[in-house]
Amino acid sequence: MNEKTVWNSYTKENLAEMNEVCRWYMDCLDAAKTEREAARLSVKTAEEAGYRNLAEAVKEGRKLKAGDKVYAVYNEKTVILYHIGTEDLERGMNILGAHIDSPRLDVKQNPLYEADGFAYLDTHYYGGIKKYQWVTIPLAIHGVVAQKDGSVTEVNIGEDPADPVFTITDILPHLGGAQMEKKASVVIEGEKMDLLIGSQPLAADPAKEEDGAEEEKKQKEGVKAAVLQLLKEKYGMEEEDFLSAELEIVPAGKARELGLDRSMILAYGHDDRICAFTSLKAMVEMEETPKRTSCCILVDKEEIGSYGASGMQSRYFENMTAEVLALCGQDSSLSVRRCLQNSRMLSSDVNAAYDPLYGDVYEKKNAAFFGKGLVFSKYTGSRGKSGSNDANAEYMAAIRRVFDDNQVAYQTAELGKVDVGGGGTIAWITACYGMEVIDSGVALLCMHAPMEVASKADVYEAVKGYKAFLKDM
């Protein structure tokens, strides 16, 4: 099974359409390196496709009918889209779910300090990373600074070619003998992953008289003072404003085509924006009113267990679905329960592509491969399927029918060998409602690295597959 690569079946028209989809996707990756940016881009894309804010409909008491398209946003980090179908909502929805957060480094709340002539930002890593991969590469700072007056300032430094970039230093090999004896998990320690942001001290102002204590402080922390002055000038930011800032450190630079044949994409954030943006595209390009209501959930916090108000474990999705049902004339908790239980979902998250350089950690018959389409994982979890949603055989059969009828390439896979691999998604959370859920997504090389690799063909097949699911499931 799963022996055929899609490349040999593509016509010139298929290849042209694939490249168009991938150019769009790469533009999305460049514009959205954080969950806030991804949410903002998703809303803009939805509004251009005719979606309207659900909050406005609720405020106006405007009833929803078949064909209506609405979206909801929470904490600027989670977005849900609904395209109302002709069928009674109590009979369920067809749902695409993906997450828009990615592994990264976060700036701490009291981060700025100077040490021996260098200014640093103290960080805490977010999600599962190999820490040693994040040193000595160009890094950018994205995020927001919220002021006490309620204003919020956007921060984006390191992406424009005229911007400076930042980095985390590492010791030279000539002095790294002891370091090289450490396990890979601790060769770079989390508390040493501090971002180097400056080395030039603040110049003295000859027109300003300062007392001895102030002068001594500037001499001791002149580089920190210079950084604070720059932050004040550009962002109106004081040091204490770090307390209410969300600043994320991500790799600097754009998504790039990979390979002499340009068949792959090298980029930060494929996990899981490759599933999020392809799901979004499937939703907004649905021209006809669906039979079953279509829904797309783009959620935050998956990389740290889906906790928090903007994570999948919160009640936000359930609450917004209740609002939609109420505007459709079904204002009861029983209607909400019926709708969610009768829904069908693709929990769209990435899988590990077979890498022949590390083939010993894969079970090849049940591994995902580049160029063979969307990946279905009947179960995830680890070892004895711990923490897994295990999809029903009947649901898997229905998925096969839809994809085969629509000529969408797909494959099945596990995440590595038994007792070696494992991982989790949001599938088990929505399965708690009793709905049918299966994990699906795009296979990646270098998952969770600063730069990950995907196949263009698999991006294209993902869009086709998600459209087929929404239309025919």
| Residues contacting 398, CB < 8 A, separation 6+ | 473
Q: What is the pTM of this model?
A: 0.94
Return d(Cα 247, Cα 213) in angstroms, integer: 32
Residue with tokens 């995907």: 454
Q: Residue-wise pLDDT tens for the chain (473 aa)?
A: 556 899 999 999 999 999 999 999 999 999 999 999 999 999 999 999 999 999 999 999 999 999 999 999 999 999 999 999 999 999 999 999 999 999 999 999 999 999 999 999 999 999 999 999 999 999 999 999 999 999 999 999 999 999 999 999 999 999 999 999 999 999 999 999 999 999 999 987 656 666 666 666 666 789 999 999 999 999 999 999 999 999 999 999 999 999 999 999 999 999 999 999 999 999 999 999 999 999 999 999 999 999 999 999 999 999 999 999 999 999 999 999 999 999 999 999 999 999 999 999 999 999 999 999 999 999 887 778 888 888 999 999 999 999 999 999 999 998 888 888 777 889 999 999 999 999 999 999 999 999 999 999 999 999 999 999 999 98
Pick the closest to residue 426 from 435, 414, 413 (CA basis): 435
- Please report, for residues 9, 33, 281, 351, the alpha-carbon distance to residue 265 in angstroms, rounded to integers and kept in the order given: 20, 15, 18, 16
CA distances from 381 to 122, 123, 445 (A): 33, 29, 19
Q: Where are the alpha helices (DSSP H) in 194-332?
A: 212-220, 222-235, 270-284, 316-327
| Spatial separation of the C-alpha atoms in residues 381 and 387, rounded to whole Å | 5
Residue 391's identity, in one-letter code, is: A
Structure tokens at 311: 């994570």
Single-letter amino acid, residue 227: V
**Residue-wise burial string across 317-353, b where 16 or more C-beta atoms lie within 10 A, e elsewhere:** beebbbbbbbbbebeeeebbebbbebbbbbbbbbbbb
